[in-house]
A = this chain, B = another copy of it.
Amino acid sequence: MDRIRRNERMTAMMKLLSGTPNRIFTLNSFCEMFGSAKSTMSEDVDLLRQVAEQFDLGEVDTVTGAAGGVRYRPVVSRAGALATIRGLCEKLSGTERVLPGGFLYYSDILSTPEIVNRMGEIIATEYYRAEPDFVLTMETKGIPVAFATANALGVPLVIARHSSRVYEGSAVNINYVSGGGSIETMSLSRRAVKENQQALIVDDFLKGGGTARGMVELMREFNVTVVGMAFVMSTAEPEKKRISGEKALMTLKVTDGEPASAEVKPAAWLEEKPGA
């Protein structure tokens, strides 16, 4: 075999690293793959880090210690996040997408992979430090963005259901008060999570916070800590939700009128400096 060149090694490494975000690859595994010395691989990794930074493509990191190695995180800069969300807000605002009852049609946004992946990366960027063990969502509409977030964090997705199913084994059911004020059931398979894990809740829509509150209570039943909550869209009203500490990407206000119009804005935290 010909000697593998640096540009070949770097290209292959970037594909492998960015294809499985937040997973640590040992330097040895790359040494074996390319038949290169460890010092050469270290230089390659340094260059990868610089390229990722230069072109705003996320972060390549070296993790030290026994389980150490190289990992890629699709970290999105605050400026990049704000630009993406502003674009979405523009697309969603106006009269065209308002449905009877003051609802907003944005199912298409929630299932276009390029948009969903980007939203997942923006959310993941906020929660790498919290180190969730899994992402929790409630069926149905938030599943793609919750999955994309889980992918960016390199952790599994866990889906709570409206009712327990025979093909998921024994389950924990809880009741919660939905947005409409009715009592609903939320169900999760016993096998889905382990005690003392950390959960990040991700969902598409936050209004009163009833469903989110239900998910928090469900996690309590499993002795799981909720380390964060993120939503694609949060309504301006009611201002006081049944949960707190959440991060939404956008806020929605539907104004009366003929026709009714939607005002969609980037959430306030996106306009702040990161870490502020």
Contacts and interface: CB of A to CB of B under 8 A. Distances in A.
Interface of A: 6-8, 10-12, 14-16, 18-20, 23, 33, 47-48, 50-52, 54-55, 57-58, 99-101, 103-105, 107-108, 111-114, 116-117, 139-141, 143-144, 147-148, 150-151, 154-159, 161, 166-169, 189, 191-192, 205
B144 A147 contact: yes
Most buried by B among A19, A108, A150: A19
Contact of A107 (B140, B147, B150, B168): B168
A105 B191 contact: yes
B192 A147 contact: no
A55 to B, nearest CB: 5
- Copies of this chain: 2
B99 A151 contact: no
A116 B12 contact: no
A120 to B, nearest CB: 10
Nearest to A21: B113
Contact of A159 (B54, B140, B155): B140
A155 to B, nearest CB: 8
A114 B20 contact: yes
Contact of A104 (B139, B156, B167): B167
B116 A147 contact: yes
What 10 A-B pairs have minimum CB-CB distances, sorted nearest first?
A: A103-B167, A113-B151, A7-B7, A111-B157, A143-B143, A139-B140, A12-B55, A11-B14, A11-B51, A10-B11
Nearest to A148: B147
A111 B156 contact: yes
A114 to B, nearest CB: 6
A266 to B, nearest CB: 21
